[in-house]
Structure 1
Amino acid sequence: MKDSEDRQLRGGTRWRRFAVLAVPAAAVAGGIVFGMANGAIAANITVSGKAFKVGATRLEGDGFKQYGGVVYEKGNPVPRPVAISEIGHADLYNLCQSVNASVPGLPVVLRIEAGGGRQPATADGMLIAMDSLAGDATFTKIKIGQDATDLSAAAQEGSFGQSSEHVTITGLEQVARYTTAGTFKLTGLKLKVHAFGDAAGKECFS
């Protein structure tokens, strides 16, 4: 009897630890929606320290801007450098977002899918702070080497920036730290928690 109770206690502890991670992780995976006054990351926003993955078969974006920036993790005064992309309006086809929310002894991946039919997922006033971006990109009327402060008041004077009227990215694979949008419409939303053996291979890309 005592062994059974101990197993239940340990199992309950693991699930409680997962729940603590899963709530913020689910919010991140869903693309935290905040209205931002000037499109820049607010100074009082801190990130979770967990990166999340975003994939799409195609992204169509109007009003693209990109420049360097930093984010801060809760309790860590050391800034993390990131690339910041702003998109005025984005259509994302076959959108996938995933976050690895595993704890010791409990593999867990939270995965969201949207925009898989004829109607893509859409975002207006979108901002992404990312570690990396991969895919095939085509830019329309691109300007490379702008002073970043001409693109965002929050950027550092003299830092590198670029912009484009339109961008198309196919095979999008992005590792991000933070996402905001004025509106984020997830058409055909599907969210699932994959745990234990079912978690293997469930991130959007390896």
Structure 2
Amino acid sequence: MESVARGGTRWKRFALVMVPSVAATAAIGIGLAQGALAASFSISGQEFKVKADSLAGTNFVQYGSVASGKTLDGKDFAAPVAVSGFKSATITNMCQSVVTPEVPFIGNVSLELRAGTDPKKPVEASNLYLDVSELKADAEFGNIDIGVAAGSLAKKDGDPGIQPGTKANPYGFGQRADTAKLTGVEQKAWATTAGTFKLSGLSLKLHKGVKECF
């Protein structure tokens, strides 16, 4: 009986991993764009990986914060993150993956999402925030300011600043740039939020075992 109970819980968690990747994206995006939702939530206990050929954005900001949530075993945890924000961004050849471990009778199950594989139809996002724990890329910034107090990142109303509801010190270190272009992107993240998120050529697959973007 104990084994059955654990298995049921894990299947529910596995199902919840899929929701924010696809179905909930539109609803959350509309709510954020209209100011109906605070951009703050308890994150899942699973990091996900994102790989892309390029990410090009405008009105870039970056600052330190803390993401909090529960592990798959239900224990509270907090993780330091570097939050990267963009007023608008395009992403080419995006791959997102997350692995759910030890699903009963199956083992590990990987979710793989791809979009923007056609360079002429990239992924498009507005008011994009990425809670990143690790990033590898070649980066080029236009008109960058380094060492700005996080609470002063927005140059004018409507520009990205500290995301409402997040645990960031307004007097902490931050940086901003008019433009940012990252190529050969490989990152680990805890969360992504956006006002709008257009996934051109969306493909979602489930794989038995571990199959990650990198």
Normalised by the length of structure 1, the TM-score is: 0.81
Q: What SS does structure 1 have at the residue aligned with 2:107?
A: coil
Is 1:67 the equivalent of 2:80? no
- For residues 54-77 of structure 1, what are the alpha-carbon distances to aligned partners after superposition, in whole Å with 9 as ceiling and x for unaligned? 110011111110000111113655
Aligned residue pairs, count: 189
Q: What SS does structure 1 have at the residue aligned with 2:189?
A: strand
State the shift of 1:161 in Å: 0.2
Normalised by the length of structure 2, the TM-score is: 0.79
CA distance, structure 1, for counterparts of residue 60 and residue 36 of structure 2? 15
Q: Percent sequence identity over matched residues? A: 37
Question: Structure 1 residues 26 and 129 mapped into 2: Cα distance closer, same or farther (>3 Å)?
Answer: same
Assess if the C-alpha contact under 8 Å between 1:29 and 1:110 holds in 2: no
Q: What SS does structure 2 have at the residue aligned with 1:79?
A: strand
Cα RMSD for the two superposed structures: 2.6
State the shift of 1:53 in Å: 0.6
CA distance, structure 2, for counterparts of residue 120 and residue 68 of structure 1? 28
CA distance, structure 2, for counterparts of residue 91 and residue 63 of structure 1? 13
State the shift of 1:101 in Å: 1.1
- Which of the two has higher C-alpha Rg? 1
| Stretches (4+) displaced over 6 A | 12-15
CA distance, structure 2, for counterparts of residue 47 and residue 157 of structure 1? 22
Q: Look up the equivalent residue of 1:190 and give its one-letter code.
A: S
- For residues 172-191 of structure 1, what are the alpha-carbon distances to aligned partners after superposition, in whole Å with 9 as ceiling and x for unaligned? 01100011111101000000
Structure 2 residue ranges without an equivalent (≥5): 154-160
Correspondent of 2:18 among 14, 22, 26: 26
- For residues 87-133 of structure 1, what are the alpha-carbon distances to aligned partners after superposition, in whole Å with 9 as ceiling and x for unaligned? 11110000000001122651111000000012001111111111111
1:14-163 superposed matches below 5 A: 16=8, 18-30=10-22, 32=25, 33-34=28-29, 35-36=31-32, 37=35, 41-42=39-40, 45-74=41-70, 76=75, 78-103=77-102, 106-117=107-118, 118-151=120-153, 152-153=161-162, 155-163=168-176
- For residues 139-182 of structure 1, what are the alpha-carbon distances to aligned partners after superposition, in whole Å with 9 as ceiling and x for unaligned? 01111000001123553132000001111101101100011111
Q: Look up the equivalent residue of 2:53 and give its one-letter code.
A: T
